[in-house]
Structure 1
């Protein structure tokens, strides 16, 4: 691993640590200061909504500028300032002001969820080195999803939820100068097309290039199911009289994802890896839904996580390999935004269906993964060699 790549991955981990911890931190802060978690839920919604709405603009800007590092650094600086402001304002300031700050901070979210990953391709050559770099990026993402909530829980219990939010702001603040000084070099002169025309480029590329269309459609459906996993797991553990053990199930899933993303061999074709990962994820969760007890479900959750980790690695590799260079940032931010939207809808759907038997809810999550595997198979067809040349040629053909 080169020093430049190590700095990029460190930047991404610090920023994602902050982002992953926000969901727990704002709810705990609102609950501690007002006795009601409602404001925290509204703040979290305001934080997540712009991740989706601003993804095309963020991707277009990162793809157009000749020096993307300062732009990413500035976005992460605003991201950190918004978290710091929320640490002081949640539960104390008028709700409209708090929501406005959350919207402003969330608008920088696509840089964290997708923009930084798009830069990995500029720091590594095509081939095995880039594939391995995206495996490390996926591992960092999974590590942040595990460490962020754990850090918040630790600091909220030992000090206060406000201190937890301050720590998240510090993490994002450390990422900002690292991003601003990434040694990316200067790109070729900026594109001459209007920014408005570029806003839909990412969507056009995803639709035109078969591997991107397949993996994006499948992972959006998968994310809809996984968005329900937290609530379904709590209800599943409650069915055995131990709702607190849901944390152990989800931790096992996260640890499995981390180990899976590190262990995946770089020689496996990413399209095939994505399909098999979705299938394994669905089968493991289906088995967990039929588990006679939590002791049996725990290793099945870990196995499901071991399949989810390679899925993220495969998704990142496919985006990097098949997106034309000028649209790569948009493909990354758009894909991440769509997955986040689907996960939010999944979380809402399981709330509406919470009266169903818990095994049925967990089975529905598994069914989404199996359906996603079938969808990927149908859309991807037979894997074709050729790396990024496939994406570039398909895009040129569709655009001409």
Structure 2
């Protein structure tokens, strides 16, 4: 059984690494290709295409319902990976050769598959039976690492392929990687079929109600949203701070890369040595660690210290994300697992994108000021989580004993009652 689970994890990690590398490099590849083929307006058009890859994430909760209702979720994922790869490859092949609106439509189609590439695929790992607690935490750590691999090696892969074969070929290679992932995802175990009748998959508004009423999910969603706002702008801030500290633009880019390296390294460590303890409490501690790390970035007196603090901030972000995966695995109802995963992930992606835009807009205030504001936002997230937990505890303590007993009796059947 142990060998079977190990084989499942290896196939999952191969699938996730392939498709998330394609997703992670797509925006950079399209932007680079558009700049090279679009003339003076190429940068603006490239930015628009990059935005179209993330904007459709708002449709994630509806798309996730299809995955939860499917008898074989692997097929839904395989189709979405193929569509992503084909749409991305077609956009690259036709860019500059057909009207731009046609290319934009293809990129939007690829973007619609994004929620299934991220939270949708992660939900399948949570649905695999037979994991013990330690094995599941290890798997979640490695799953987090695949996000780091995609965001780190995706742009690097498209750059390397582009340097050797041209920018268009680089994006085509990403489309091919997604197509290969469509094949490997079919080798994963089939999850339990969805429930029938009234107990079947939920509507989108019911999914949001679960996130709002299940205490651990609600609190982790608050932490995810606010820390994603900070994380979305951290690489922009790192680039500017590194430039200020050394006078070198390359040093600024390297400092941003250090953040990504810290994220990836911590994810790998979490895969080898899984996080322990109750996942919601672990995530709360990691929010506090993230706040301290961002504060250290703001106070870094020189470049060498900044390298250490930004690596630590990336590492804290990776461990926090791993802990949030564990919270979703424990508290998301099986009948709405994909919807919970994707809905929370879609909100995180949207807020992260807003953080990137906000950091760029407010950069005139200075990178240290923005890092200080980021620390304040993270502390606010921590206060919100602790306040919500305390309030929920008080409300539970004053409920009549009979109602509390009823809640305990029903907690296994209806996770949405947990506060």
Same fold? TM cut 0.5: yes
**Which residue is 2:89 aligned to?**
84
Give the deviation of 1:79 after TM superposition. Answer: 0.6
- For the pair shown, the structure with the greater C-alpha radius of gyration is 2
Choose from 261, 271, 284 the match for 1:275.
284
Paired residues in the alignment total 392
Q: Is the 8 A contact 2:199 2:335 kept in 1?
A: no
Give the deviation of 1:359 after TM superposition. Answer: 1.4
1:329 paired to 2:338: yes
Give the deviation of 1:382 after TM superposition. Answer: 9.6
**Which residue is 1:131 aligned to?**
137
Give the deviation of 1:381 after TM superposition. Answer: 4.1
**Which residue is 2:328 aligned to?**
319
1:235 paired to 2:240: yes
Which consecutive unaligned segments of at least 5 residues does structure 1 have?
none
Q: Runs in 1 of length 4+ with deviation above 3 angstroms?
A: 188-195, 380-384, 389-394
Give the deviation of 1:247 after TM superposition. Answer: 2.5
Tell me the alpha carbon deviations over residues 118-177 of structure 1, each in whole angstroms, 9 at most, x when there is no partner: 011222435222222111111222222211122123223343221221121111111011
Equivalent-residue separation in structure 1 for 2:326 and 2:195 (angstroms): 26
Give the deviation of 1:327 after TM superposition. Answer: 0.7
Q: Is the 8 A contact 1:67 1:184 kept in 2?
A: yes
1:31 paired to 2:35: yes
**Which residue is 1:10 aligned to?**
14
Give the deviation of 1:243 after TM superposition. Answer: 2.1
Tell me the alpha carbon deviations over residues 181-238 of structure 1, each in whole angstroms, 9 at most, x when there is no partner: 422155155445898x612232111011000000011111111111111221222122
Choose from 309, 312, 315 the match for 1:300.
309
Larger helix share, 1 or 2: 2
Which consecutive unaligned segments of at least 5 residues does structure 2 have?
394-409
Tell me the alpha carbon deviations over residues 313-371 of structure 1, each in whole angstroms, 9 at most, x when there is no partner: 10000001001100110000001100011011112212221211221122223332222
Q: Is the 8 A contact 2:128 2:191 kept in 1?
A: no
SS at match of 1:93: coil
Choose from 219, 223, 227 the match for 1:218.
223
Q: 1:250 to 1:115 in 2, by over 3 A?
A: same
Matches within 5 A, 1:374-393: 374-381=383-390, 393=414
1:19 paired to 2:23: yes
Equivalent-residue separation in structure 2 for 1:90 and 1:367 (angstroms): 43
Choose from 37, 44, 58 the match for 2:63.
58
**Which residue is 2:360 aligned to?**
351
- Aligned CA RMSD, in angstroms, stands at 2.3
**Which residue is 1:68 aligned to?**
73
**Which residue is 2:407 aligned to?**
none
TM-score relative to the length of structure 2: 0.87
